[in-house]
Structure 1
Amino acid sequence: MTTTLPTSAPSEASPAHRAPGRKPQIPGARVRRLLHRLTPGDRRVLRLYLLTRLGLWLVAYCTAWLFPKGGNVKAPAPWLSHWAQWDWAHYQHIAEYGYFGSFPGNDPASDNRVAFFPGFPFALRAVHTVIADWTAAGLLISLVSGAVAVVALARIAGLGRTDGARAGQRAVAFLLLSPAAVFLAAGYTESLFLAFALPAWLAAKNRNWLLAGLLGAAATTTRVSGLFLAAAIAVEFLTARDGHRGTRRLRALSWCALPAVPAAAYTVYLHAHTGDWLAWKHAQERGWYRDFHSPAEALRNTWRNAFDHLQNTGYAWEFQLELAAMATGLLLLALLLYRRRWPEVVFIALNLWALGTSYWYLSVPRATLLWWPLWTGLAHWSLRRHWVRDAYLAVVAPLMVVLTVTFTSGRWAG
């Protein structure tokens, strides 16, 4: 499979370039043409994706009735309100009021909106022009983005394999049934990031460096993890044997640096408004204790909050999940090093360093959603060892329901 850029064509709206008697294409025809480009494997992946979305929505519906907000109530809160949790408020405030506009109940001392990159809020504002409800608009962005992401993940898992379709379906199933999968459905950045990052990686594997750089830049607008992706793409370029020489190679390498442009532009924007070149980092430190600590200190602080009865049981359990996710990441990194998968090593190592050097581990389970080598690796392993799939479905997948209930009931879910 190859990734190609669309070729230019005369505008369909221009009579000078329209064949006599030819009718202009309607959006429905374009959708059908797009669907025809999907392989049978892509369609099976999308079917699984939609079925798991229905399952998550059903869990959220049941949670609304079983765990209502308040005491002895006779009717649950509106279904959409159960998806408007935690970071969602920051995304909506940015989309609605910008980074520095005041809003009802705003406390400037605790306002850390600048800690969030602008990609998702900008998309949210655009969709809101069509979908009046902010939460519904955010869910729609994640729904569409997730569909793009799972198709790309399946194709990555199938690269160079005779059983590529099966590998792709397994990788997608493991992702969609992973503990933190609720964040792929909620109005959060994970789905939108993956919708850009996974096609970027697919383009890099197919040596289309310009497309990889452009998609990587789009990924960086949503999360700082786009810079880690850029580093992985650069290593993929440096270790590739694609025949580029001299000026042509330098030009291709420059495309790999494109993901740094949105991060630099955002830094300049924040400096222009705050006078602080590190405004993003300082907001992370104020709001989420993401100042630098040694890996040993971060582990110690997380362990104490997980097991030393410093937190209530709900928070302590979440810290236990943080530890399990970090252990999974370290094991994945060791396997990638053993197999000398250097680009993936760079991506995972940078993720683990960023997550493992703050005051404590925070949002590591959510970060696992972005680790495509984890899902493709599990898929390939399960095709060699059939018990892996059964063990995952029996032991790991049920945690997805638990975290979905946790998130939609308004409890901290990482």
Structure 2
Amino acid sequence: MPAMPFDVREHPGDAPRSPAAPRRLPSAPRKGRASWGKRMAWRPSPADRDVLWLYLLTRISIWITAYCARWLFPGDPATHDPGPTLAPFQHWDWDHFLHIAREGYFPDQAGPWQSGWDNREAFFPGFPLVLRAVHFVVPHWALAGLLVSFVSGAVAVLALARITRLHLPDAGAGKRAVLFLLLSPCAVFLSVGYTEALFLALALPAWLAAQRRNWPLAAVLATAATAVRVSGLFLAAALATHFLLTLRSTRNLRPLPWLALPALPLALFSWYLHAHTGDWMAWKSAQERGWYREFHTPWEAWANTWHNAFGQAQSTGYGFMFQAELAAMLTGLVLLVVLARKRRWPELVYVALSLCALGTSYWYTSIPRAVLLWWPLWVGLAAWSLRRPRVKSAYLCLVAPLSIVFALTFLTGRWTG
């Protein structure tokens, strides 16, 4: 395992001692310097600071876009009232997370047995719990949600950069992978009160811990990630695959029980929902009712999505989003082929399970957002752009306009039509 850029050695410049030289015992000041060096190992390296600076700049660009969208596309066109300052960030799934954090899953005995139910049990409790905790310090709900995503995103990009540097020797590879992620079409969801940033802040350090074979830490972080999104189970499968591959060299089965830990959040959540609804799969049933995520064969899902994208069956806004779903699915399939050729089996398992879950519904839903969670894609793009410098320019020129369009559709309340 190569040394990480934030490793700090006590005396990296000491020359080798000759055999005849007497060996001195370390003095107290030398021990103090060693402790100082150990503390310094956790400080961000210059490469980490570059990544955080890039992250901050892209957050500022999102906030500027939100400010402009609020004035150019007012919530009430008749009065030209731009609405509250944070109104552009409060759309769609945010309402579900807010209601869960503020009221719980079944307030006043309400539930799926009532007409007009919002199917909030489809969302896992991790993000609402964190949101409620932060709300004790930040009373404004929307601001609390933005703060959760802002801090989580910073952790996520640092972890992504360090994962990239494990695979690529170039000093700027980590920053390049982060750049590709932060300018991707759906990157706006890393800036709003959604689950993507928090999930990545847990999943990527879990994967980084697994690369260092710190299995207990990897399992605990993957468990927390599963409490945020069901995708944590796909991460757990990738960790298990990686563990099995390392057995060829370690022959150590003692960490194996840790790998079952990520199933605990799903078990507890299912038990809680069953106690209120009598349905062990109530979260899945809610997704089927609200988002047509009942099982269909992959070719049926593709055909239904294609018809809604190009068959004039939907309005222009919805049609555009279905086209984005198809493009994201094709991106995932190409990524699977690349990972198979590179023999990156754990990453392949993670992406394949994600595609299977999202590609077997009535039609595709939320695949462009799921692309944000495919860290092998951003590492692979960084590697490809280092071999072919024109790839970076082509990516930025082609993707930047889409990023602006997607950001505006969300910030103005026009997402999915």
| TM-score, length-scaled by structure 2 | 0.88
2:144 counterpart of 1:137: yes
User: 2:200 is matched by which residue type in structure 1?
Assistant: L
Give the Å deviation of 1:73: 2.8
For residues 183-198 of structure 1, the aligned pairs below 5 Å read 183-198=189-204
- The residue number in structure 2 matching 1:335 is 338
Segments of 4+ moved more than 3 angstroms:
1-4, 33-36, 241-245
Cα distance, 1:2 vs structure 2? 6.4
How far apart are 1:107 and its partner, in Å?
9.4
Matched, 1:176 2:182: yes
Deviations 1:204-250 (A, max 9, x none): 011110100000001001000000000000000000157544xxx33
Give the residue type in structure 1 aligned to 2:294: D
How far apart in 1 are the matches of 2:85 and 2:199? 25
- What code does the residue aligned with 1:90 have? H
* Structure 1 residue 111 displacement after superposition: 2.6
- CA distance in 1 between counterparts of 2:314 and 2:225 reads 35
- Hey, what's the Cα distance between the residues in 1 that align with 2:75 and 2:253? 58
Return the letter of the residue paired with 1:130.
Answer: V
Secondary structure in 2 matching 1:239: helix
Which of 291, 295, 306 is equivalent to 1:292?
295
- Could you tell me the percent identity over the aligned residues? 61
Trace 1:242-391 onto structure 2 (pairs within 5 A).
Answer: 244-245=250-251, 249-391=252-394
Secondary structure (helix, strand or coil) at the match of 2:289 reads: helix
Conserved? CA contact 1:112–1:287, under 8 Å: yes
From 74, 95, 119, give the equivalent of 1:89: 95
Q: Distance in 2 between matches of 1:3 and 1:297?
A: 48
Distance 1:60-1:121 versus aligned 2 partners, 3 A rule: same
What residue number does 1:76 align with? 82
How far apart, in 1, do the equivalents of 2:408 and 2:113 lie? 30
Q: Which residue of 2 aligns with 1:233?
A: 239
1:217: which partner in 2?
223
Give the Cα–Cα distance (whole angstroms) in 2 for the partners of residues 52 and 266 of structure 1.
35
Tell me if the contact between 2:5 and 2:45 (Cα under 8 Å) persists in the aligned partners: no
Measured against aligned partners, the alpha-carbon deviations of 1:83-139 in whole angstroms (never above 9, x if no partner) come to 1100101000000011111499x9933231110000000000001111111111000
Report Cα offsets for 1:324-377 as digits up to 9, x if no partner: 000000000011111111001100100000010000000000000000000000
- Whole-Å separation in 2 of the counterparts to 1:379 and 1:325: 19
Aligned residue runs from structure 1 range 12-161, under 5 A: 37-102=43-108, 108-109=114-115, 110-161=117-168
Cα distance between partner residues in 1 of 2:54 and 2:206: 23
Question: Counterpart of 2:253 in 1: which secondary structure?
Answer: helix
Among candidates 403, 406, 411, match of residue 409 of structure 2: 406
> Structure 1 413/52 Cα, relative in aligned 2: closer, same or farther at 3 Å?
farther
How far residue 273 of structure 1 moved from its aligned partner, in angstroms, is: 1.4
**In structure 2, C-alpha distance between the alignment counterparts of 1:35 and 1:118, rounded to whole Å:** 34
Q: In 2, Cα distance between the equivalents of 1:49 and 1:406?
A: 22
Displacement, 1:188?
A: 0.2
Q: Which has the larger radius of gyration?
A: 2
1:253-305 CA distance string (max 9 Å, x none): 11122111111111111111111111111011001000000000000000010
Distance 1:261 1:107, change over 3 A: closer
User: What do residues 185-219 of structure 1 show as CA deviations (whole Å, max 9, x unaligned)?
Assistant: 00000000000000000000111101000000010
Letter in 1 for 2:351: I
The DSSP-based 3-state class of the residue aligned with 1:251 is coil
Contact 1:3–1:202 at 8 Å: present in 2 too? no
Contact map agreement 1:3 1:206 (CA 8 A) in 2: no
Q: What is the alpha-carbon distance in structure 2 between the residues aligned to residue 366 and residue 208 of structure 1?
A: 29
Change (3 A) 1:180 1:102: farther
Task: Measure how far apart 1:72 and its partner are.
Answer: 3.4
> Does the Cα contact within 8 Å between 1:207 and 1:242 map onto a contact in 2?
no
| 1:375-394 deviations in Å (ceiling 9; x for gaps) | 00000100110011000110
Instruction: Find the aligned partners of 1:308 and 1:268 in 2 and give their Cα distance.
Output: 42
Indicate the larger mover: 272-281 or 166-175.
272-281
Distance 1:283 1:351 in 2: 19
Q: How many residues align?
A: 382
TM-score by length of 1: 0.89
- Structure 1 stretches of 5 or more lacking a match? 5-32
**1:35 Cα deviation after fit:** 9.9
- Residues 243 and 51 of structure 1: is their aligned pair in 2 closer, same or farther, counting only changes over 3 Å? same
Question: Is the 1:3–1:208 contact (alpha carbons within 8 Å) kept by the matching residues of 2?
Answer: no
For the residues of structure 1 that align with 2:391 and 2:78, how far apart are their CA atoms? 44
One-letter identity of the residue aligned with 2:84 = P
Distance 2:82 2:188 in 1: 20
Partner residue of 1:200? Answer: 206
